[in-house]
A and B are shown apart, each in its own frame.
Chain A
Amino acid sequence: SYEVTQPLSVSVALGQTARITCGGNNIGRKNVHWYQQKPGQAPVLVIYRDSHRPSGIPERFSGSNSGNTATLTISRAQAGDEADYYCQVWDSRIVVFGGGTKLTVL
């Protein structure tokens, strides 16, 4: 079965750029979706199909996907961006989630 791997945690200084990776075999051939989950809340879609932002998501959130790594980039990080982030792909009509990355804004 297909697996995707995320770092357990990423730290970023306030106002700097955070990058969260999602690794998988030839993941660049798949569409990657990213979700933000704050404590006690449901996940929210922040990037879909590698690099598209849903309505209402700030331009500070961007995504890329190539080779074996997809990346969620958060520019000018704010305290409100502290959350868990999950990448997700479909593989043979099955959802595969990464294990999640806890983003800490220092």
Chain B
Amino acid sequence: GQSLEQPSEVTAVEGAIVQINCTYQTSGFYGLSWYQQHDGGAPTFLSYNALDGLEETGRFSSFLSRSDSYGYLLLQELQMKDSASYFCAVRDPSNTGKLIFGQGTTLQVKP
């Protein structure tokens, strides 16, 4: 089957850098996605890595190592508004479009 593991909680201070890790097990791998969800809101797409390496989008970067079945989301220059839950996800090997989500990491940014 497919499974993803990520830490349940991470705390950091405003202005700092934080890394949220995700390890996955899947019989067929296409790529790793990241989603952000603010309290009371809907998840929104942040990034997608299909190939090894780092993808940068502003203050957020996402990294993938296919050989290690591992990825991370890097948030720089943390702001209070970055306090949210972050989910990693992989596509189900059936390739129907179904995504398998991790349980989510709650990031708390403190002043």
Q: Does B bind A?
A: no
Report A's interface with B, CB cutoff 8 A.
none
